[in-house]
């Protein structure tokens, strides 16, 4: 079952990327399926240099609040909706991948950016990443949905979560090892 969820999430992301790559540039787009998708993003991780092309000045107070938020738990997820009720296909995919890794709820803080317009714009400026969801591990920006899916498929996510003390093994691997 876990592989079918991953395949479905991968198809959703690939389809959305294909649609946004072939259409004229737009700030946002609503598709017939209902979820809100942001404009196309280029894959990169926190390890790559970020360019300040989107940067606007956010207040020192907002920056300090965001610092506290991203460092407030071993894993922090800024998303549209909540883990039990995601309001975006990309947010849903990230929640499903994290669920596959059996991340302990007490090790995760999630923030619904739809409840706070300032948070919605400030987190994008803070990370210099134009879309949500955004995943932070131990205060460091990891990436959005496309990067999390790629890291999951390559095994890098399991390694990162394990080395950070967030989880030991994905559910699928644990079930396969005990069979």
Residue with the bigger pLDDT between 167 and 163: it is 163
pLDDT of residue 49: 44
* 16-39 pLDDT tens trace: 555 444 444 433 333 333 333 333
Helix (H, G, I), strand (E, B) or coil at 9: helix
108 to each of 13, 70, 88, how far by Cα in Å?
A: 23, 10, 19
Domain residue ranges in the chain:
42-47+54-178
Percent of the chain clearing pLDDT 70 (strictly above): 62
Radius of gyration of the chain (CA): 16
CATH class of 42-47+54-178: alpha beta
51 to each of 7, 128, 130, 176, how far by Cα in Å?
A: 32, 7, 11, 42
pTM exceeding 0.85: no
* 118-160 pLDDT tens trace: 999 999 999 999 999 999 999 999 999 999 999 999 999 999 9
């Amino acid at each position: 079952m876990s592989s079918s969820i991953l395949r479905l999430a991968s198809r959703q992301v690939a389809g959305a990327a294909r649609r946004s790559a072939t259409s004229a540039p737009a700030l946002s787009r609503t598709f017939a399926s209902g979820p809100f998708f942001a404009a196309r993003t280029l894959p990169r991780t926190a390890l790559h240099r970020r360019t300040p092309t989107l940067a606007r000045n956010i207040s020192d107070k907002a920056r300090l609040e965001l610092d506290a938020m991203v460092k407030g738990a071993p894993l922090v997820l800024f998303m549209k909706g909540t883990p039990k009720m995601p309001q975006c296909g990309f947010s849903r995919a990230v929640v499903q991948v994290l669920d596959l890794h059996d991340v302990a709820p007490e090790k995760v803080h999630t923030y619904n950016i739809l409840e706070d317009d300032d948070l919605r714009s400030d987190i994008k400026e803070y990370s210099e990443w134009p879309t949500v969801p955004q995943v932070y591990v131990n205060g460091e920006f990891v990436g959005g949905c496309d990067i999390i899916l790629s890291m999951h498929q390559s095994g890098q996510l399991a390694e990162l979560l394990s080395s950070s003390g967030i989880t030991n093994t994905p559910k699928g691997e644990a079930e396969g090892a005990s069979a």
